[in-house]
Amino acid sequence: MRTGYVPLFLSAAALIIPLEGVSAHFRLNQTYVGNDFLSGWTWETLDDPTHGRTNYVDQGTALSQNLTYAADTKFVMRADDWAVVPPTGRGRKSVRIISNQAWDESLIVIDLAHMPEGCSTWPAFWSLSQKGPWPHGGEIDIIEGVNLGNQNLASLHTTPNCNMPPQGQRAQTQSGQTTSTTCDASVNSNQGCGVTFSKPGSFGSPFNQQGGGYFAMARTKADGVRVWFWPRGDPSVPQAVANPDALLPVPMRKRRNRSGKGGKKMAVLQDVVDIVGPDTITPDQSWGNPEAAFPTQDDNCGYEQHFDAHQMVFDLTFCGDWAGSVWPQSGCGAGSCVDYVNNNPQAFSNAYWEVNSVRVYTPY
């Protein structure tokens, strides 16, 4: 692994500050680009747990039928857009993959060129407990939406006794709008606790028309779960997100030690410049407020009680518990969602994921 930073000492001066003021730093743990997905993820063929009109296929089938393909710098997963599905069939062919590795406290950054769009579609990029059974260990939805929607929804699904503050108490810590506050998956038809993004172009056709964008999800015991979004070309995208292989100078980086007066843990801020990257990243104030912030303190949703190591999941289902239930209000026309999926293969030409990279960082 490459060196994460090169310290350039400018003087011997040091300032002692409380440890609590230090932002979390993360170091690169795993990268998935192009063919990395073929060896680092598993193609799942289970019946869709959300009751979609979907036939998830294995890796061999996906590769042979061009539902999955990889190049040096991109990875694509897509729906079958040529076959009429018989009424007795399992559903339209699609792909669901899960990472072989799992992480607890971490930062996930995805550079996404295209996401599935269109009537009946229900794409999601999310994580769930490696141990389970679901919802034990929690679920974190990073990218999710249905049909012709154009605003992303981030949400948590947990065991009981996990609740989020109302919007009025979160307006200073997130940019999105709280849509639900009860994370318990056993109530409210498993709605979970969600936040709808406010920044334009976070989902569906608008996202794709702008050339995609970047999502980042950080989860730590201290700060809970936070999700950011930046459209491609947005000047506010952190350089460590948009150009993860670049070397970025960061002056006056805070350094920790275990010494301090009266036994209190302190951090030492040395008079140094770090050359950060390409293996390090810090979601500090320069990132701006996340679109969604889910605090996980003991009094509302204890982190260790509700979350453990998660695997990442990409999927694309059709109709089902969400996209199917809101079909009459979707603007997709008459008829049933299932009939639409069965008889309109040409409607799924834009139902594909095109992923430039997924990078996972862990605290250090």
Q: Where in the sequence numbering do the catalytic residues fall?
A: 139, 144
Instruction: Please list, residue by residue across 184-215, b when 16 or more beta carbons sit within 10 angstroms of its beta carbon and e when fewer do.
Output: bbeeeeebbbbbbbebebbbbeebbeeebbbb
Q: Give Cα separations from 227 to 140, 195, 217 (angstroms).
A: 10, 10, 4
- Cβ of 146: how many Cβ atoms within 10 Å? 25
Nearest to 104 by CA among 282, 304, 284, 241: 304
